[in-house]
Structure 1
Amino acid sequence: MDKAGKKVVLITGGTSGIGLAAAVLFLQDGWQVAVMGRDAGKGQEALDYLKKNDGKAGNIGEAVYLQGDVSSMEDCRRAVAETAGHFGRLDALINSAGIYFERAIEDVDEEAFDRMLSVNLKGTYFMTKYAIEIMKKQGSGCIVNVSSDAGLQGNMLCSTYCASKGAVNMFTKAMALELGPFGIRINAVCPGDVLTPLTEAQLLQYPDREQALGEMGSVYPLGRIASPEEVASVIKFLCSREAGFVNGALWSIDGGLT
């Protein structure tokens, strides 16, 4: 615990979607929260949103925003260092930053490929590298990687994304073996479609948003896509004492799709 007796979590991609929903849950549970994102404007909006949603519990933590791009090793190192410097420790890392596009392999150029792997895989890899330096000294820690059902099975026109998330899943399993002896657990969540700003942007490409959303949800046995809060709840659980023996697991959150 830090001097205030609170645990500390760093969330990449924490200014929107699943990352922001997770930040709300951790904050309401009394954690100190650092959210990392590229856009300073969105960072301030995220902090304002967190303040509006911090009245639902009595043991509220503090939230800070860190500007940075996870595709930069230096930004990864700095974000971890600033979090530990500000709060005094680091108990959990949530690797939620990610990008997505649908494209046939013939239409994927080197720049697009490199950007996808740099954010989805490289960012996860090096955020973990720097976080565990602190966690090993503490003798404890928890990491949750936000992967995808696309990391478990192939999806149409998503070869680059599938490759990045499949790599994240195997990285998670490998690191579980490497970090377990140090008291550090690492797991991944593998959601299907989630109603995030990224998904909303996809839906707006269609003439009828509601029809497109219905068609998207129709492939799921539960008949709908997930909310960010549903994924965030599993992330929060994986960082809890109740999940103390869960390590190297890939948790499907896809309404039965896989």
Structure 2
Amino acid sequence: MELDGKVALVTGGGQGIGRGIVDRFLAEGAQVAVVQRRELGEDLLQHPGVLGIRADLSDAAAIRAAADQTAAHFGGIDILVNNAGVMFERSIADITLDEWDLMMALNLRAPLFLAQAALPHLQRRGAGSIINVGSIEGLSANPLHAAYCASKAGIHGMTRAMAVDLGKDGIRCNAIAPGWIASELSENYLESQPDADSAREALNRLHPIGRVGQPTDVGDLAVFLASDRSGFLTGEIVVLDGGRTAKLPLPF
């Protein structure tokens, strides 16, 4: 198995993209600490390879405690996945300072300080992999997403900088920039359209591969980035969007 004997800390791993990553890590033999604000579901809580940690990632003290608890429970940390975040829509005219600060605290500040908290544990291993979850919206934009796009573009830039700074410790850092990944939220959005079937078909047509992504698609890529097979890959932003951003739109 690709991650046999490895210990991973994954934020926001209880659902969506994070759950896809956790499921694939467990299948590949890793032990996983899942850090998030909400309680984990029973299936993960009962899994012998999972440690659930409830923490508010906007709290710097909670971030360090989560990393130390993971290392104490499993004996170290080999992999950090910064997946947790928040997304909301606000116009430039309407966004408030508090909303901006919350977006940056969860989407951008928490990943940096989780990396800082995990760093001594990764250094003791002599190597490691940090995976940040960015977005195609760190490269392009949807309407009303100025704060979200800024946070994800920041993640991409920070990933490159972390790769440069941490390479001397044998720690690689890469980012995944997912496109449309199926989730309960996205399914609810499609079902809210006047013609849900037509909306779903139109969405699939946006992707040259003919479908939207699944959480396990992100998990598969995360396994590769976390494993020794990607040992010469660092500082990269890997777009995972079924070819959506590679396809130029036609005017008809």
User: Normalised by the size of structure 2, how large is the TM-score?
Assistant: 0.90
Please state how far the C-alpha of 1:209 moved relative to its aligned partner: 3.9
C-alpha distance in 2, partners of 1:145/1:208?
Answer: 35
Aligned equivalent of 1:115: 102
Aligned position for 1:95: 82
Is 1:10 the counterpart of 2:9? The answer is yes
Show CA shifts across 1:69-110 (max 9, x none).
222111111110100000010000011101112232112112
C-alpha displacement at 1:133, in angstroms? 2.0
The Cα RMSD (Å) is 1.8
Q: Does 1:44 find its partner at 2:41?
A: yes
Aligned equivalents of 1:157 and 1:235: distance in 2? 29
CA contact (8 A) 2:129 2:173 kept: yes
Residue from 191, 214, 230 that aligns with 2:178: 191
Q: Does 1:143 align with 2:142?
A: no
- The counterpart of 2:223, out of the listed 211, 221, 236, is 236
Q: How does 1:105-184 map to 2 (within 5 A)?
A: 105-184=92-171
Q: Mind listing any 5+ residue stretches in structure 2 that lack a counterpart?
A: 246-252
How far 1:36 moved relative to its partner? 1.1
State the Cα distance separating 1:124 from its structure 2 match: 1.0
Q: Give the secondary-structure state (helix, strand or coil) at the position aligned to 1:217.
A: helix
Q: What is the CA distance between 1:136 and its match in structure 2?
A: 1.7
- Cα contact 2:134–2:177 (8 A) shared by 1: yes
With the length of structure 1 as denominator, give the TM-score of the two structures: 0.88
Instruction: Give the drift of 1:167.
Output: 0.2
Q: 4+ residue runs of structure 1 moved beyond 4 angstroms? A: none
Give 1:7's aligned amino acid. K
The structure with higher relative contact order (CA 8 Å, sep 6+) is 2
Give the unaligned 5+ runs of structure 1.
52-60
- Contact 1:20–1:46 (8 Å) recurs in 2: no
Say if 1:114 and 1:203 are closer, same or farther in 2 by CA, change over 3 A.
farther
- Deviation digits for residues 40-95 of structure 1 (CA, Å, limit 9, x no counterpart): 2xx134515x84xxxxxxxxx61111101222111111110100000010000011
